[in-house]
Structure 1
Amino acid sequence: MKARWKGKGSEAKAIADPMSKIVSQLQSSLIHSNTHGLLSSCSVLVEVDAQLADLLNRACFGRPRITAEKDNEWFQLDMEEAFYLCFSLKCLKVVGEDGCIKSNEELWEYMKSKKAVFPVFYMAYSHLRHKNWVVRPGLQYGVDFVAYRHHPALVHSEYAVLVLSEGDNDLNGRLRVWSAIHGTVRLCGSVAKTLLIVNVNNNCHGAISPSCLEHYTVEEQTITRWNPEQCREDQAVVRI
């Protein structure tokens, strides 16, 4: 499935301003500003100035929160987004309810306590982000994530992502029967997306600490409906 760009010139804008460059600028600005986030239940809140708010928007991290403040803005990061900025990009520090900065290990344990499948979801999220895909929640499509080639303002999402993990019956059970696969693929087709299965294997290393992630492996598999139109012979039938 080809990228579906939104409007004339959108593809050219994306090529001129690649996502890898935007994320690198965000990383540098967050490090320079020594930005801290605040743990808030199942998310992290970050207060930023106008420049950082623009970079977070362009890099598609978090969502702005409406407040009465005029000088700064607040962004709400999902757990995978926040941990990616902390652990992978090393550009964000997170403060707990006790007012102390959380180490990566402490943040890891906290997020696991809030979301049992966090290690698997984070591995899938970081895997796609490292490949410069924009990854956003996919709840409205009945999947875990949706993946965009660039900013959602420029292009429609191409992939509806389901995360599976060997040995996790709750996750893998979603596609265990044919009717579930058929229904999911039909839904993806109706919204012009390809179903992408991201299978995360921990290789028996568990999820004791973030350092275990280096032993994880990720496999990708796309599932699409067979279209007979693509398989017909183009030549006209010769009648005798």
Structure 2
Amino acid sequence: MMPRWKGKGLQAKANADPMSKIVSQLQSSLIQFETRGLLSSCSVLVEVDAELADLLNRSCFGRPRITAQEDKQWFQLDMEEAFYLCFSLKCLKVIGEDGSIKSNEELWDYFKSKKLVFPVSYKVYSHLRHKNWVVRSGLQYGVDFVAYRHHPALVHSEYAVLALSEGDNDLNGRLRVWSDVHCTVRLCGSVAKTLLTVIVNSNNQGANSPSCLEHYTVEERTITRWNPERSREDQTGPKNGTKKGVTRF
């Protein structure tokens, strides 16, 4: 599936301002101003000025929150977003309810207590972010994330992403029965997205600290419907053969 840009000339605009460059600018700004966030239940709130708000918007981290304080702007980061800025980019500090700055280990334990599958979901989120995909919540499509080639204002999301754990039953057996596969793929097709499963293998490592992440490995696999046009007798062969990591049915 080719990227679906939302207007003429937007691909050139995205190429001229790559996401890697925008995220690097955000990282530098957060470090420069020693930005701190406030831990709030299952998210982190960050007070920002107009410049930082623009960078967060452009890099697609968090969402602006409307408050009664007109002189203040706040962004709400999801758990994966906040931990990525803290642990992977090392550009954000998070303050707990007791007023102390939380270490990466403390944040890890806190987020795990709020979301049982956080180690798996974070590994998938960081894996895609490291590849410069924009990663957003996929709740409205019944998946974990949706992945965009660039800013959602410029292009439609290409992938609906499921974060799965190798040999783990904590994910309610998603895609383990045919009806689940069929329903999920049909839903993705109706909104012009390809289903991407990212399977995390812990390699028998525990999840006691974020250091375990370096031992985790991931396998990407797309699942698409079989196209009968690829098997017509008057064709010498498929234009695009099935590649490793692609499952069709």
Compute the TM-score of the two structures, normalised by the length of structure 1. 0.95
The aligned residue for residue 206 of structure 1 is 206
Secondary structure, aligned partner of 1:205? coil
Superposed counterparts of 1:1-240, under 5 Å: 1-171=1-171, 173-232=173-232, 233=234
- Pairs aligned (count): 235
Asked if structure 2 preserves the Cα contact closer than 8 Å seen for 1:49 and 1:71, the reply is no
195-204 vs 168-177, which moves further: 168-177
How many Å separate the matches in 2 of 1:136 and 1:230?
Answer: 33
Greater helix proportion: 1
* Distance of 2:110 and 2:160 partners within structure 1: 28
3-state SS in 2 of match to 1:182: helix
Separation in 1, partners of 2:192, 2:230: 16
- Distance (whole Å) between structure 1 residues aligned to residue 17 and residue 172 of structure 2: 37
Corresponding residue number in structure 2 for 1:238: none
Q: In angstroms, what is the RMSD of aligned CA positions?
A: 1.2
- Asked if structure 1 preserves the Cα contact closer than 8 Å seen for 2:160 and 2:193, the reply is yes
Residue number in structure 1 paired with 2:242: none
C-alpha distance in 2 between matches for 1:20 and 1:212: 25
Structure 1 CA distance for aligned equivalents of residues 50 and 157 of structure 2:
27
**Distance in structure 1 (CA, Å) of the matches to 2:179 and 2:166:** 21
Q: Report the TM-score, using the length of structure 2 for normalisation.
A: 0.92
Deviation, structure 1 residue 172: 6.1
Contact 1:165–1:172 (Cα < 8 Å) also in 2: no
Compute the displacement of 1:189 (Å). Answer: 0.5
Residues 50, 72 of structure 1: 8 Å contact kept: no
Report deviation, 1:230: 4.0
Cα distance in 2 between the residues matched to 1:9 and 1:69: 38
**Residues 119 and 207, structure 1, Cα contact 8 Å, conserved in 2:** yes
Which amino acid in the other structure matches residue 112 of structure 2? K
Cα distance in 2 for residues equivalent to 1:72 and 1:49: 7
Q: Which runs of 4+ in 1 moved over 6 A?
A: none
- Contact in 2 for aligned 1:164/1:172 (Cα 8 Å): no
Corresponding residue SS for 2:173: helix
Please give the secondary structure, in 1, of the residue aligned with 2:171: helix
Aligned-residue sequence identity (percent) comes to: 83
Q: Tell me whether 161-170 or 130-139 shows the greater mean CA deviation.
A: 161-170
Aligned to 1:203, the other structure's residue is in SS state: coil
2 CA distance for matches of 1:26 and 1:72? 19
89-98 vs 177-186, greater mean Cα deviation: 177-186
Task: Spell out, residue by residue over 1:14-43, the C-alpha distance to the aligned partner (whole angstroms, 9 max, x if none).
Answer: 000000000000000000010000000000
Q: What are the superposed Cα offsets for residues 62-97 of structure 1, whole Å, 9 maximum, x if unpaired?
A: 000001333331000000000000000000000000
Distance in 2 between residues matched to 1:230 and 1:2, nearest whole Å: 18
Contact kept in structure 1, 2:200 and 2:217, CA below 8 Å: yes
